Amino acid sequence: MKRCACLKAMVLMGCCLWIALGVVIPQGAEAKTVTLTYSNFFPPTHIQSQLAEQWCQEVEKRTEGRVRIKYFAGGTLTPANQTYGGVLDGISDIGMSAFAYTRGRFPVMAIVDMPLGYPTGVAATAVANAVQAKFQPEELANTQVMYLHAHGPGIIHTRGKPVRTLEDLKGVTIRSTGFSAEMVKALGATPVAQPMPEAYQSLQKGVVDGSAHPIEANQGWKLGEVVHHATMAYSVGYTTAFFVVINKDKWNSLEARDRETIEAINAQWAVKHGEAWDSSDTEGLRAFFQQGNSAFGLDSREAARWEAAVAPMIDAYGQKLEDDGHNGKAILKAIRETLKNHR
């Protein structure tokens, strides 16, 4: 009895000491909180950054605070071309960036960026997620994919002379990245590889004559201030696919119920990002015109010339994937079928 009384007294004294020191006694699994970091290169004012931050808030809300996320926008934690590696190395737990910013690392997903005539961001986002879900590229196996998204049709913008024909592109330098750079070359211009955060300064200083980018970037990245003409060549509209991935160990450390909740949020946010690309294209075009800039369409004959000019690069890359064992022809077919459903 004395021994039991002594044990009770010791436990009571221990609890009093914990309380005095301000130590919180966890109440089972409910008290477990995981804090993750999220790196994104988009500036905080950009709609894609705002959506990412809203995703963080939604995760915390729906997991009842068990998963919290510290969000870093504008490349403050890792720059765009180091975001994926940063997730692998634990610099950040979650990251958003473009596949094209680490050229050669994502050979399968890169094909999504081809100038296949994307009509909208919703269509491009559907394509990116369909390719990842159906073909499960090995290049993404070392992280857990949250979701993908992709912008609406990328087109050529210029500072000086407008571009109305393929001949107008000769001798013109165009800031571009990934396959948009190859598209620029196939069309007869000279590509200059640069990520989007470097575009404004390069255009402003005249380092390049123009840029290949989606219409939204005229407002979202303020490029409408430094380019003056847009060539609305939708027949070769390309996209840039973006990933949102999480470190696999961190993902597996989350409770099963929280992983299930986050997956449900991911499905919703992929759609939100696609829709946001389209709404911001509309706003970008409005801002572009308000700044006194001009846009030009292509007639059917000229549009066909542009499409024919880029066809060899598309076929060649599909064949390269095929040769490397990545089923390139099937991937291209799946992309075209998905696009057909979104025309």
Report the pLDDT value the prediction gives residue 134, as an integer from 0 to 100: 96
Task: Give 9 or 256, the one with higher predicted confidence.
Answer: 256
Length of the chain: 343
What proportion of the chain, given as a percentage, has pLDDT over 90? 86
Report the pLDDT value the prediction gives residue 126, as an integer from 0 to 100: 97
Domain ranges of the chain: 154-239+284-341
CATH number for domain 154-239+284-341, candidates 3.40.190.170, 3.20.20.70, 1.20.950.20, 3.90.1150.10? 3.40.190.170
Buried b (16+ CB within 10 A) or exposed e, 276-296: bbbebbeebbebbeeeebeee
In one letter, which amino acid is 65? Answer: G
Of residues 50, 81, 112, 117, the one with CA closest to residue 273:
50
pTM of the full structure: 0.85
- With beta carbons less than 8 A apart as the criterion, state whether 93 and 87 touch: yes
Residue 23 has pLDDT above 60, yes or no: no
Q: What is the pLDDT of residues 60-84, one digit of tens each?
A: 999 999 999 999 999 999 999 999 9
Report the pLDDT value the prediction gives residue 196, as an integer from 0 to 100: 87
3-state secondary structure of 209: coil
What 3 state SS string does 268-331 have? HHHHHHHHHHHHHHHHHHHHHHHCCCEEEECCHHHHHHHHHHHHHHHHHHHHHHHHCCCCHHHH
> Which of the four pLDDT bands, split at 50, 70 and 90, describes residue 30?
low
Q: What is the pLDDT of residues 182-219, one digit of tens each?
A: 999 999 999 999 888 899 999 999 999 999 999 999 99
> Which of the four pLDDT bands, split at 50, 70 and 90, describes residue 237?
very high
What proportion of the chain, given as a percentage, has pLDDT over 70? 91
Average pLDDT over residues 101-116: 94
Q: Which two tokens stand for residue 69?
A: 């996320």
